Amino acid sequence: MCGNNMSVPLLTEAVTVSAKEKETAVVIFLHGLGDTGHGWAETLMEIQPSHVKFICPHAPSIPVTLNMKAMMPAWFDLMGLKPDIPEDESGIKRAADNIKAIIEHEAKNGIPPHRIILGGFSQGGALSLYTALTCQHQLAGVVALSCWLPLHRSFPSVRSHWKRSHIASTRHTVNECRTFKPECCCLPLKTTLLHLTISLSGVVLMKSVLCLYLQASSGNKNIPILQCHGENDCMIPPHFGVMTHEKLRLIVNPDLVNFKTYPDLSHSSCPQVLHRRLCVMLCCVINQIQTYLKTLTIAKLCPPPPPPACALKCVL
C-alpha cells in the first residue's frame, strides 16, 4: 500500500532519506528550536544502515515567547527554560499528534511501529519523548539529545502507583469483597469488579489485577530510551537531563533508560554521540525489540518477561 504524503502535513516538506535496500525500519528525527531537518539529515546519512529510512521533518514557524515573540521554526511555544515555567500544553499535544500522524503513515505503508525509532535534539528531543510516551503504539526506542520531558507532571509514576494500590487493595479478603466499595480503589471500576471475583486462600489477587492494569495504562513502559547530555550545556542545563532521567525511570522500565553525559560538550551534538551510540541503537535495538515482541507471553495474568539485557545495554 502506497500512502499519500499530502495527507500528512509534516511529510510534504520533510527531508526523507530513503534506504539503500528494502526499507524495514524508520528513524524520525526532530530538530531543535530555530533549526530545520536539513542539517540532521546530512548527519544521519553518515550512519545510515542500508535498510533504514530517515525522516527529518521541519517545524512550522510560530512566534516564540522566549525569543520576544520572534517568528522561527518551533515545535511548540516556549515561555522559558526553567522547570517551573508554564508550558504550551495545547501546542505540545498538537505537535505530538503531527508526529504520531507520521508514525501512522509509515505503519500503513508497511513499517510496524516497533520498527520505528523516534529521536530529536533539544526541543525536538523533548517532543520525541512526549510523543513516544503518549503514542498508542510501542516504538522501537527513543533517542533524546540535550532535552527534557514536557508536561512531566501529566505522567503517573508506575512504581508509586503499584505501592499505593498494592498496600490498599491486598487488605481486602473474599469476605470483605461483599462490602468493598469500588470508589475506594484507584483502579478502573470494570477492572476492580472483575478481579474481586478472583481469590486464593481468602486473599484477592490484586497483584494480577495490577499487572493487567499497568499493561493497559502504560503500554509504553517497556520502550528503550537513550538520553545524551553535554555537561557544559548552558541552554538546557545538565540537571534538566538528570531530572528527566529520574522521571523517566518512574514512568518506564528503569532498566531500559540509559543516560550518558559528555564532558566539555555544550548545547550541541557531536560525532561521539551520534556515530557511536545512535548507530549501535539503530543496528541492535531495532532488531532486538522485534525479537522480544515475538517472545512475549500471552498469559494475561502474568507480567511479560524482561526485555533482552543487550537491547539497550549494548549502547554503553
**Which residues are catalytically annotated?**
122, 233, 267
Is residue 95 within 8 A of residue 62, CB to CB? The reply is: no
**Parallel, antiparallel, or unpaired: how do β-strands 141-145 and 116-121 relate?**
parallel
Compute CA 13 distance to the chain's CA centroid, rounded to the nearest angstrom: 24
Q: Is 53 exposed, middle or buried (0-12, 13-18, 19+ CB in 10 A)?
A: buried
Give the distance, in angstroms, between the CA of residue 90 and the centroid of all CA atoms in the same chain. 19
Quote the CA–CA distance of 262 and 203 in Å, as a whole number.
51
> How many CA atoms, within 13 angstroms, populate the side-chain half-sphere of residue 265?
18
First vs last C-alpha separation in the chain: 38
Q: Which long-range contacts (CB under 8 A, 24 or more apart) does 196-201 make?
A: 196/172, 199/173, 199/174
Kindly state the cell numbers that stand for 93.
499535544
